[in-house]
Structure 1
Amino acid sequence: MILIIGNILALLISVALGAIGVRFLLNPRVAAEGYGVPAGSDGGSAYLSAKGARDISVALLGVVLVCFGGAHATGLFMLVMALIPLADAVIVTRNGGRRSIVLGVHFSTAVLVLIDSVLLLLS
């Protein structure tokens, strides 16, 4: 049962990350606002699009690991992947982002990914 919950949670996290990536490709300014640091007036859409493409790639890797990699590999991947929202929290904080986004989006995501990692590694 723990494995099923862990796999479902890993899939949901991966799909959500993929959706965030698509959002960065389709509407980078709005996505940057949701991230917690608005895009500057000088553009930066190339960097935001690159972030979107990378998010989609990482999301697809998560899906592939759930489907073909086994619980241990997926659990380790999720453990490493937890560094992404932790780094995002630091980036948003250092750039004057709102504390509600730091805690409510990035830190809570890191905790969720860490919980999923533990579930998968214990299964």
Structure 2
Amino acid sequence: MFVTIAATVLACVIGVGIILIGTRYLLAPQASASTFGLREWPAEGANGWLNVKGVRDIVSGLVILVPLALGQTQVVGWLLLAAAVTPFADAVIVLRGGGSKRLAYGMHGATGVAVLVAAALFLL
């Protein structure tokens, strides 16, 4: 019972958190760009690309929350396992782009680990 509650809370935090991040990328793309961790920020004309990231993040959160709301916990576990690719890939992008190691490991890497932990809790 505790494992299910812990997994559900963690999945909700991850889902809502990424939706909030995505919303920020839609509402304030330039301000949000620096929080990704890359060394160079996109120019003002790149707001469309930052909006694409915002939509991607919102959809990623919904993909976790919708099956969770429907009680499909095993599906949520598998989706979280697949979704863990995104934060780890983001960390690699930041590192390969010469960006902040602190943000690559501390934000993207830690998020990836949290997603894997939530996936494991659901799949146990």
Kindly indicate whether the alpha-carbon contact (under 8 Å) linking 2:67 and 2:76 is maintained by their aligned counterparts in 1. yes
- Rounded to whole Å, the distance in 1 between the matches of 2:42 and 2:7 is 38
CA shift for structure 1 position 44: 1.0
TM-score of the superposed pair, with normalisation by structure 2: 0.93
Q: Report matched runs for 1:1-123 at 5 Å.
A: 1-37=2-38, 38-41=40-43, 43-122=45-124
Taking only aligned residues, the RMSD between alpha carbons, in angstroms, comes to 1.2
- Rounded to whole Å, the distance in 2 between the matches of 1:42 and 1:96 is 21
Q: Secondary structure at the match of 1:35?
A: coil
Instruction: Give the unaligned 5+ runs of structure 2.
Output: none
Instruction: Provide Cα deviations, 1:50-77, integer angstroms capped at 9, x if missing partner.
Output: 1101111111121101111522100000
CA shift for structure 1 position 94: 1.1
Kindly indicate whether the alpha-carbon contact (under 8 Å) linking 2:33 and 2:42 is maintained by their aligned counterparts in 1. no
Give the percent of matched residue pairs that are identical in Structure 1 and Structure 2. Answer: 37
4+ residue runs over 3 A deviation: none
CA shift for structure 1 position 41: 2.8
- Rounded to whole Å, the distance in 1 between the matches of 2:77 and 2:32 is 28
TM-score of the superposed pair, with normalisation by structure 1: 0.94
What amino acid does structure 2 have at the position aligned with 1:16? G
What number of residue pairs does the alignment pair up?
122
Kindly indicate whether the alpha-carbon contact (under 8 Å) linking 2:77 and 2:118 is maintained by their aligned counterparts in 1. yes
